[in-house]
Amino acid sequence: MSLMPTMIELLARARVDLRMGLPVVLEGGDSAALAIAVESLTPERLTELLALGPVSLALTARRAETLKARAYDEDLARIQVPAQASLQWIQALADPADDLNTPMKGPLTSLRDGSADLHRLAIALMKSARLLPAALLVPVNTAPQFASEYGLTRIARAAAEPLLSQSSPLHPVAAARLPMVAAEAGRLHIFRPEDGAEEHYAVEIGRPDRSKPVLARLHSACFTGDVLGSLKCDCGPQLRGALAQMGEEGAGVLLYLNQEGRGIGLANKMRAYSLQDQGFDTVEANHRLGFEDDERDFRLGAAILKEMGFSSVRLMTNNPNKIAMMEKTGVAVAERVPLKVGENAHNAGYLATKAAKSGHLL
């Protein structure tokens, strides 16, 4: 029936469930497991999980490295959770906020037998929900009956994994004229992804010629920099500088992608900032949280440009990864336009780290 939810819709439902502290049922092959986010876990639900059977904690290899836990599954570690484990102990393994005060959290026993496929799916779901990449899993025998009895969302691994790894299709929703400080001839386009995630925006300056390379920028949302004027990054000056240059030239497209904190979300970005206050650089902070250097999906930008009729760009960026992504997805980069603005005493170390560890051309 067409009224039945598709897997894309089930994944959207699962993300909401996990953020609210509800578990979801994951199925793959002959196995199934109940999975719940550590970040939103309550003492009552932890007690119920421990009563169901052996509980394991899924952590990324990045987080496991900080904890000195063995990651036998290469990209993740499955930690055996003792039957008497407390919520505080479990959350301390997932959240590095108190690592320096209590660095010794072991001994930790990593599981190495059996498949890690459902644990890997659980971590992917946590990331897509902008939660800490840590989940508790407990095996269940009859997934359909269990999910039906408790009213839980069921996710089939074979159908879900391709959707979580690919870029969700985007559709134009609305567009209207928007005079701005940078250019009175402005227009704002709204694009909505099929997977229920955040909408993305395209700011069109003037009437760019679709037959020529357009001056373009892929700008990731930065609430702290763009709105609050944070001095910890150069995002605000880059946003305003890019729009100003497009206004001066009379044409351009700025794509405002809602991928806060390099794709980890504002809450996790604040966690990373707190770690930076402890002395870790921006990359180290992300790793301690369990994330990679950069979790953003720049394919979204290429999809929007093509939807708007552009096939080549003069890309305003210092990030070579954006150039490589554009070329890979069929948008030609005719020129890289440097955007070196906003350096100050507060972000000098941050910019140096981006250059040294992420290859930014500064």
Residues designated catalytic: 294, 296
- What's the CA angle centered on 308, arms 303 and 309, to 5 degrees? 100
What's the token pair of residue 276? Answer: 């930076």
What's the token pair of residue 116? Answer: 């890690």
Q: Which residues is 138 bridged to in the sheet?
A: 34
Closest by CA to 87, choosing from 21, 164, 152, 13, is 21
Residue with tokens 């997805």: 329
Rounded Cα–Cα distance for residues 220 and 228 (Å)? 15
User: 128 phi and psi, to 5 degrees?
Assistant: -70, -25
Closest by CA to 337, choosing from 210, 155, 196, 214, is 214
Going by the DSSP 8-state scheme, the letter that residue 352 receives in this structure is: H
Peptide bond into 107 cis (omega under 30): yes
Q: Give the contacts of 94 (CB within 8 A, at least 6 positions apart).
A: 38, 39, 57, 59, 63, 132, 134, 290
What's the token pair of residue 177? Answer: 């004229």
Residue with tokens 């405002």: 256
Closest by CA to 286, choosing from 274, 297, 302, 298, is 274
Closest by CA to 248, choosing from 215, 219, 217, 212, is 215
